[in-house]
C-alpha cells in the first residue's frame, strides 16, 4: 500500500487488474472520472500521486493474491463495488508449438488471476448489507469467430472460459444484485500493438483497428447499465459477426 488516506464512506471503489497496461491504465483514469476510488494492481506498479488511487503490486497467479488485493482495498477504502479483470496474456502460435510454460502463463493470468481476484471480491461485495456489485471481464472475439490466419488456441481456451463463467456468475449472484459482464475485443492499438497496419485493420469489418477509448466507452456503458448482466458485449468493429 502506498498511502493511508481513505475514501469517503459513500464513495464507490473499483479494483482494476493489469492496471499498468495500455488498456488497464486508461480504465483506471476512466473510473476516477466516474468518481470512483481505485485500487490499481499489477506485478510492477508505481506509487500514485492521487490519494484516491491505491497502487498495489502483486502477481495474480500466486496463491493468496486475490485475498491480499481485496484486503488492501477493504483496509484502505472499506468496500469494493466493481472489479475490472483487465490483466491478460496473449501468445499466438500454432497449437502444437505451445509449450508447457506457455500454458502455465496464459492459464495462470487469464483464468487463475480472474479466479483469485473475483472470488475474494465477490465475497467482499456479499458482506455489505446493501449488497450489489459489478464484475467486468476482458475477452476476445476470436472465441466466437476464429481466424485461420491467427492461431491462438490458448486464448480461445481461456477467454472462452471467461465468457462462460460470465453468464454463470451473473445468474448465481443476480439475487444479490451483483452483475457480471464481459467486453469482447478485436485488435486494440496499444503501446504493445501500436501500428494500425492494413492487415490488422482488415480484421474488422468497420475497417480500422480498435482504439483504447473504444474499450473504455464500452466498460463505462456497462458500469452505468444497471439492468445489464450476463452480457458478452462485442466491441470489435463487427469481427464477431463475420467477414
- Mean pLDDT of successive 10-residue segments in the chain (243 residues)? 49 97 95 98 94 96 96 97 96 96 97 97 94 96 91 96 98 98 92 73 86 97 98 95 81
In a domain, 57, yes or no: yes
CA distance 87 to 80: 18
Look-up: residue for cell 451473473?
170
φ, ψ dihedrals at 103, nearest 5°: -60, -50
In a domain, 197, yes or no: yes
pLDDT score for 4: 38
Comparing CA positions, the residue from 118, 137, 117, 124 lying closest to residue 64 is 117
pLDDT score for 5: 47
CA distance 170 to 32: 25
Instruction: Assign residue 152 the CATH number of its domain.
Output: 3.40.50.720
Residue length of the chain = 243
In a domain, 101, yes or no: yes
In a domain, 6, yes or no: no
CA distance 140 to 124: 28
pLDDT score for 39: 98
CA distance 56 to 168: 29
164-186 residue pLDDT tens: 999 999 999 999 999 999 999 99
In a domain, 150, yes or no: yes
Query: What angle (nearest 5°) sits at the alpha carbon of residue 106, between those of residues 103 and 108?
Result: 95
- Residue 198, Cβ neighbours under 10 Å: how many? 7
In a domain, 76, yes or no: yes
pLDDT score for 3: 40
Q: Are 189 and 209 in contact (CB under 8 A)?
A: yes
Q: Are 153 and 98 in contact (CB under 8 A)?
A: yes
Q: Are 106 and 56 in contact (CB under 8 A)?
A: no
Domain holding 138, by residue range, is: 13-241
CA distance 63 to 37: 26
As for how many domains the chain has, the answer is: 1
pLDDT score for 9: 59
In a domain, 202, yes or no: yes
Helix spans in 47-111 (H)? 65-77, 100-107
pLDDT score for 144: 93
In a domain, 128, yes or no: yes
Amino acid at each position: 500500500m502506498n498511502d493511508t488516506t481513505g475514501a469517503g464512506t459513500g464513495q464507490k471503489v473499483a479494483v482494476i487488474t493489469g492496471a499498468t497496461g495500455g488498456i488497464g491504465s486508461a480504465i483506471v483514469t476512466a473510473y476516477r472520472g466516474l468518481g470512483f476510488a481505485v485500487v490499481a494492481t499489477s506485478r510492477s506498479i508505481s506509487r500514485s500521486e492521487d490519494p484516491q488511487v491505491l497502487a498495489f503490486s502483486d502477481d495474480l497467479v500466486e496463491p493468496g493474491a486475490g485475498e491480499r488485493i481485496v484486503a488492501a482495498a477493504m483496509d484502505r477504502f472499506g468496500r469494493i463495488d466493481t472489479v475490472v479483470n483487465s490483466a491478460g496474456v496473449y501468445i499466438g502460435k500454432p497449437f502444437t508449438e505451445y509449450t508447457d510454460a506457455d500454458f502455465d502463463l496464459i492459464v495462470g493470468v487469464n483464468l487463475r488471476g480472474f479466479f483469485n481476484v473475483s472470488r475474494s471480491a465477490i465475497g467482499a461485495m456479499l458482506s455489505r448489507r446493501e449488497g450489489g456489485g459489478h464484475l467486468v471481464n476482458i475477452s476476445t472475439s476470436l472465441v466466437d469467430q476464429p481466424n485461420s490466419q491467427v492461431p491462438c488456441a490458448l486464448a480461445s481456451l481461456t477467454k472462452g472460459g471467461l465468457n462462460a463463467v460470465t453468464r454463470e456468475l451473473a445468474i448465481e449472484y443476480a439475487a444479490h444484485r451483483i452483475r457480471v459482464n464481459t467486453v469482447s475485443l478485436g485488435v486494440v492499438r496499444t503501446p504493445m500493438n501500436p501500428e494500425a497496419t492494413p492487415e490488422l485493420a482488415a480484421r474488422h469489418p468497420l475497417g480500422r483497428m480498435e482504439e483504447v477509448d473504444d474499450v473504455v466507452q464500452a466498460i463505462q456503458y456497462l458500469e452505468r447499465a444497471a439492468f445489464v448482466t450476463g452480457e458478452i458485449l462485442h466491441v470489435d468493429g463487427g469481427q464477431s459477426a463475420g467477414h
